[in-house]
Amino acid sequence: MTNAAQPNTSPSLGAGFSEVREKWGWFVALGVGLIILGVIALGNLFLATVATVFYIGAMMLVAGIVQIVHAFQVKTWSRFFYWFLSGIFYAIAGGIALYDPLVAGAAVTLLLAVALVVAGVFRIWVGLHARPEAGWGWIVATGVITLLVGIVVYAAWPGNSLFLLGAILAIDLLIQGLGFIRCGLALRARRGA
């Protein structure tokens, strides 16, 4: 008879963690690789922006094709036309991004600016409505910062669309790389414990 108060620790879970700890070097190697890619992207933000737009365009094109195929699979539904049209528009948008990444980059940058402004205003509104609670000022402060970033991105548009998406990609690669290195080193430290 087992005691219900004992935690359910399966041997495979513990073995899985120890196996991951043994592979700490791969985490560090992945982190170093991501940092190298981030530095390369920082070295040529225009090329990184084009690569980002190509990636987005390819994913949209594939998603559009899948939606079109899905529409034919569910053609008995009364909404076939909406599924089909949604897939067509998505595939066209992906095709445009692949055909002219500079125009697509400008459009994505403008959408980013609008999204930041809307998110900033919303955070400010939420923070002000949470005013009696502790920390409401931090919510307002982050909203103001987000709003200002959105305004700056919009004010520099469309000129910043040549490098902004590449800069975001480069910074993301650098942060992910540092995170994987830190994770790998923590796993190494836990391995010895």
pLDDT tens digits, residue range 20-65?
Answer: 677 888 889 999 999 999 999 999 999 999 998 999 999 999 999 9
- Paired tokens of 130: 């949470």
Q: Which of 193, 173, 192, 170 is nearest to 45 (CA)?
A: 170
Q: Report pTM.
A: 0.68
Q: Which of 18-22, 35-39, 108-112, 151-155 has the lowest mean pLDDT?
A: 18-22
Cis peptide before 158 (omega within 30 of 0): yes
CB 117 within 8 A of CB 154: yes
Q: Which amino acid is at 26?
A: W
Q: Which residues are CB-contacts of 106 (< 8 A; sequence separation ≥ 6)? A: 157, 158, 161
Secondary structure class of 58 (helix, strand, coil): helix
SS (H, E, C) 75-105: CCCCCHHHHHHHHHHHHHHHHHHHHCHHHHH
Q: Which of 11-15, 24-28, 156-160, 162-166 has the lowest mean pLDDT?
A: 11-15
What residues does each domain of the chain span?
23-192
